[in-house]
Chains A and B, each alone.
Chain A
């Protein structure tokens, strides 16, 4: 087994994300979580590979499907689950909810609800890195459905023109809500957009978390060297509906089952269990993840709710501007 320690760590995080999402779904059905809940189940390898391609001083920005990358960047399961439960101990004090995970300490700058709007924002983070020469790189995630909206295009245009240190990661999970890829974009190889901007590009299937890490790392280091942005399209799949209210009738059971057979998490587990170097660690690690998940649900349940006195100071820095 190559890089046994890293492999175990990546497996642990992928499993943590999946279990976190499964428990979130359960809590949602119990009414402990409200609003929109978009699960990341099936896509874990992307976030974990990405997090391993970055330095702690690099930054990430993502969409409302944000739990995976937040955890992979180091947010605790406690802070994440408490946010979903709307508790003051949550990463955004229970004010943001599922779509708005923020963790400035780990340079995870959201959690955004308006399609495409976070792309220029991320380019702004990259601009700041270039401006201050801090050596940081920004990675921004977006869905296949977010490729056509204006803000995405404008953000990419500027990032490429100014050679900003940013990596655009298109998580192509084949659907934007109920709209399949070919119904939402005229050129379904979305990495080709890079050509128009004069950016480097890459495109691959998310099956091996190491491959994801390595190929994203190439892009991150290219950005760090001042050679400008890369557009990386990663082909992946979400096993659940778009959000909890989506029965996902627009695709077949067979299609979903087919993707599940190639599940990156299961594949990594099989490899770890087969390797004498790591086999003995797998079960202990899984037990630890279970404990962490049980603990985060307990923590979220028992934490206090935010109170009204939080609302004004989180609207303005100083005196409230009336």
Chain B
């Protein structure tokens, strides 16, 4: 095991895969000379040169499309969005090209591209820069959507993503980049479609992913002090979704709360709730609750922003409801 920050884990995955396979390259805004807007790609230009670490102008639809086109003919591009907010500009490329080429070509074509970058809220960056974009993308068949919470998964899942034959959207978080954790040494690959049990417990299942896993763990600590023992599940793979692990946990706890960033209308959380009620209806002792970003655009004011973003106290409140400690 080696302790490193999330940022370094992402970087190491990119570097190892670039070392291993000349078809892998990194492209995006400020990834090279500037060393990455959030310093994820620091040192990679020096190490791999301009052929493989490519700075782009501000042209998301353009370089996302170039990534998809190059992947279609055999390269393995890693396309960085400075933040996922800007992927909206390239949404058509991802929706209509990346996700569709395999099926509409009758299976002749593959698009092994990875799109990555920080997602969801940062700090006071306002309504246009705080989007949790995964909820739009998980809706699309043909895409895989990954959102790790720890350095180990960050590294292992990005390596899996780069080797995957399909387009993978890999979501990081600005507020996770400095989080430290142990990462296995040597070849480390984490498969998609397998959730991780971040904390074992018996009274209630907390389901989350990305940064919010850490908030759930905080909430679980506080709840343990109140005598409620929560199991925390880190989905980490949003599509494919690991039904088995969440159903198994629910079968043990009979109660669940899903906590994540993003608006309450539809999205990943609604999908989890739908599957649980279909697959494990008889196990439920209470309605499943969701703790989400409030149903409004993100305000700039710091206190309002914190109000709108899901917090540990809202998770605690939801757990107390589903365990009938509170009505």
Chain A residues proximal to chain B, CB less than 8 Å? 34-36, 86-87, 92, 94-97, 99-100, 112-117, 145-146, 148-151, 176-179, 183-185, 250, 305-308, 310-312, 314-315, 322
Contacts and interface: CB of A to CB of B under 8 A. Distances in A.
B125 A35 contact: yes
18 contacts: A36-B129, A86-B301, A86-B302, A94-B299, A95-B300, A97-B124, A99-B125, A99-B126, A100-B128, A113-B126, A115-B86, A116-B89, A151-B89, A177-B30, A178-B34, A183-B33, A310-B304, A311-B294
Contacts of B297: 315
B126 A116 contact: no
Nearest to B37: A177
A310 B88 CA distance: 27
Given A177-B37, A179-B34, A311-B299, A96 B57 contact: no
Contacts of A177: 29-30, 34, 37
Of the candidates B89, B128, B296, B300, the one having the most CB atoms from chain A within 10 angstroms of its own CB is B300
Given A99-B129, A177-B37, A307-B304, 10 more contacts: A96-B300, A99-B125, A148-B58, A148-B62, A177-B29, A179-B30, A179-B57, A183-B57, A308-B304, A310-B299
> Main SS of the interface on chain B?
loop
B279 interface: no
Interface string B122-148: 111111110000000000000000000
A208 B128 CA distance: 35
Interface residues of B, number: 36
A314 B300 CA distance: 13
Interface of B: 29-30, 33-34, 37, 55, 57-62, 85-86, 88-89, 122-129, 294-297, 299-304, 307-308
B129 A113 contact: yes
B126 A97 contact: yes
B29 A185 contact: no
A36 B300 CA distance: 10
Contact of B55 (A86, A149, A179): A179
A149 B30 contact: no
B58 A184 contact: yes
Of A178, A315, A322, the most chain B CB neighbours within 10 A belong to: A178
Contacts of B300: 34-35, 86, 92, 94-97, 100
Contacts of A92: 300
A185 B33 CA distance: 16
Contacts of A117: 89
Contact of A315 (B58, B124, B296): B296
Contact of B295 (A86, A149, A151, A322): A322
Given A95-B304, A114-B88, A145-B57, A35 B296 contact: no
A306 B301 contact: yes
A289 B29 CA distance: 39
Contact of A34 (B55, B57, B124, B129): B124
